Amino acid sequence: MEEKTSFLNKTINLESPNKNIVPITTSINNDGKLSIGGCSLEDLVKRYESPLYILDEITLRNSCRAYKKALEKYYPGESLPIYASKANSSIFMSNLIASEGFGLDAVSEGELLTALKGGVKNEKIVFHGNNKSNKEIEFAVQQNIKIIVDNDHDLDRLEKISNSLNHDLEIMIRFTPGIECHTHEYIRTGSFDSKFGFGIENLNNLFEVISNKKHLKLIGLHAHIGSQIFELEPHKDLGEIMINVILEAKKFGHDIKELNVGGGLGIKYTEDDDPPSIDEWVKTISLSVIEACKKNRLNLPILMCEPGRSIVSTAGVTVYKIGSFKEIPGIRTYLSVDGGMSDNPRPITYQSNYSACLVSNPLNNSSRKKYTVAGKHCESGDVLFKELELANCKTGDLICVFGTGAYNNSMSSNYNRIPRPAAVIVSNSEAEIIQRRESPHDLLKYDVLPDRFIKQS
């Protein structure tokens, strides 16, 4: 096809989907309408209504395989990519990543159950969290799921459980390596000032404490330095820091066999974004660990990484229907859609930017105009785009927002009692539902009116 719109005229990167704005299978049909996975977006909205989450299976699988291929290429030791399910947790996503040989990280019993229901093997699941409940920890232990210890509170409860069971528990510990990245401050999780993990300065004391725990066996380390990162140098530094920590742990009798370097690789949301490829990211991490191990005469540990956004974000789009317009002469024109902050809270939370186009005739460059795309919620800040250039459009037209596969569905809410959208997977010109659309009646399911109020009415 002959594309003219900026982000539609780029060559698709099949090897590293995170460097694309659009899903791999994006095309424009003969009728001039946008299609993904061989499915017309207009037809999908007619069938499933809007707003609608759409995931492209080929993009998802290519992303998974890019990580697997790069690890096999650059890391001669054993490795395991682990999907960060917080990005988009569902039975479908758990099933897909399991079929690609991935493990999964979870931070709640709900995410653990979802993973197990989706077919992820227990031994490939890791359980994170800075404030795990007793119930969640007990569930993970019962399911033989590896727990990543985040703080002393975790450690104390795991010691009690292991002693009560008279059974050894293998654990990993999370620490903050103190690496700064140029990202949003709310998602800097590897600096010294973080709610996550043990401070690196406290590790020797921690190693001594664990060495005196009868049934707790420290076998792994975890560190994560942030999200949506475009720099490679911090990840190179991370490998060396973690190997140095392994050397310190050895002094206290701990044999660290697993190294989990977290995730954080960014994706291309807009034309201004230029993330490294998956291959480059894995190469950087792998060579850093290999070099540090060689220097210190250590056997290579099992290398784990936790991609989330870079697996699922580019594979996902959200389609909205345009409703009202409001023009303020000399200032701006508001264009309102039938969704907003309840299905995508990232713009109002992180001031995140996206790319978008009309579903019908997206290549039309005539009569283009700048719009402020507003959501339908009762919040002045419910704005998806402060300034989006589109061809002339009208009520009833559809807008496709790209890069919404991560942290949209998983962070969605029922603010203003608005039901969550449906989600579908598309592949080979077929679409299948993976999440049913909520109805207003579904939102009343867990409301309870106390008896005394019933009697008064």
Beta carbons of 108 and 145 less than 8 angstroms apart: no
Residue range 58-312 in CATH 3.40.630.10: no
Are the C-beta atoms of residues 217 and 171 closer than 8 Å to each other?
yes
Using an 8 Å Cβ cutoff, are 152 and 175 in contact? Answer: no
Q: At 249, list the tokens.
A: 């742990």
Four-CA torsion 450, 454, 455, 457, nearest 10 degrees: 140
The position carrying tokens 């990484």 is 305
Question: What one-character DSSP code corresponds to residue 410?
Answer: T
Third-level CATH fold of 6-49+314-444: Lyase, Ornithine Decarboxylase; Chain A, domain 1 (2.40.37)
Residue count of the chain, please give it.
457
Question: C-alpha angle with apex 445: 441 to 451, nearest 5 degrees?
Answer: 120
Given 3-state DSSP classes, what are the helix, strand and coil percentages for the chain, each rounded to the nearest 5? Answer: 35, 25, 40
Pairing of strands 79-84, 103-106: parallel
Question: Cis bond leading into 347, ω under 30°?
Answer: no
Q: Do 6-49+314-444 and 58-312 come out as alike in CATH topology? A: no
- Neighbour-count burial of 423, counting CB atoms closer than 10 A to its CB (0-12 exposed, 13-18 middle, 19+ buried): buried
pLDDT in tens, the chain (457 residues): 333 345 777 789 999 999 999 999 999 999 999 999 999 999 999 999 999 999 999 999 999 999 999 999 999 999 999 999 999 999 999 999 999 999 999 999 999 999 999 999 999 999 999 999 999 999 999 999 999 999 999 999 999 999 998 989 999 999 998 886 665 555 555 557 789 999 998 999 999 999 999 999 999 999 999 899 999 998 899 999 999 999 999 999 999 999 999 999 999 999 999 999 999 999 999 999 999 999 999 999 999 999 999 999 999 999 999 999 999 999 999 999 999 999 999 999 999 999 999 999 888 777 789 999 999 999 999 999 999 999 989 999 999 999 999 999 999 999 999 999 999 999 999 999 999 999 999 999 999 999 888 877 6
Please tell me the distance from the alpha carbon of residue 46 to that of residue 134, in angstroms, as a whole number: 46
The set of residues, in sequence order, having a beta carbon less than 8 Å from that of 170 and lying 6+ positions away, is: 146, 217, 219, 220
What is the C-alpha separation between 179 and 363, in angstroms, rounded? 43
- Check: CB of residue 68 under 8 Å from CB of residue 304: no
C-alpha radius of gyration, the chain, whole number: 24
CA distance 92 to 232: 31
Q: Long-range contacts of range 31-34, CB-CB < 8 Å, 24 or more positions apart?
A: 32/360, 32/361, 32/363, 33/359, 33/360, 33/361, 34/357, 34/359, 34/360, 34/362, 34/400
* Domain range summary for the chain, segments of one domain joined by +: 6-49+314-444, 58-312
DSSP string, 252-296: TT----EEE----B---SSTT--PPPHHHHHHHHHHHHHHHHHHT
Distance CA 179, CA 195 (A): 15
Rounded CA gap, 355 and 6, in Å? 10
pLDDT value of position 454: 83
- The DSSP code sequence of 65-130 is HHHHHHHHHH--S-EEEEEEGGGS--HHHHHHHHHTT-EEEESSHHHHHHHHHHT--GGGEEE--S
Contacts of 281 (CB under 8 A, 6+ apart): 70, 232, 235, 265
CA distance 126 to 397: 44
Indicate the Cα dihedral angle 130, 134, 137, 138, nearest 10°. Answer: 180
Q: Say whether 43 sits in a helix, a strand or coil.
A: helix
Q: Tokens standing for 143?
A: 């399911």
Q: Give the pairing type, strands 422-427 and 368-374.
A: unpaired
Rounded to whole angstroms, the Cα distance separating 295 from 318 reads: 48
**Sheet architecture: strand order including 39-40:** 27-28, 34-36, 39-40
For residue 57, report the phi and psi dihedrals to the nearest 5 degrees: -65, -40
Q: Rounded to two decimals, what is the model's pTM?
A: 0.94
Asked if 353 and 267 count as a contact pair (C-beta separation under 8 A), the reply is no
Sort strands 356-358 and 398-402 into parallel, antiparallel or unpaired: antiparallel
Catalytic annotation, residues: 378
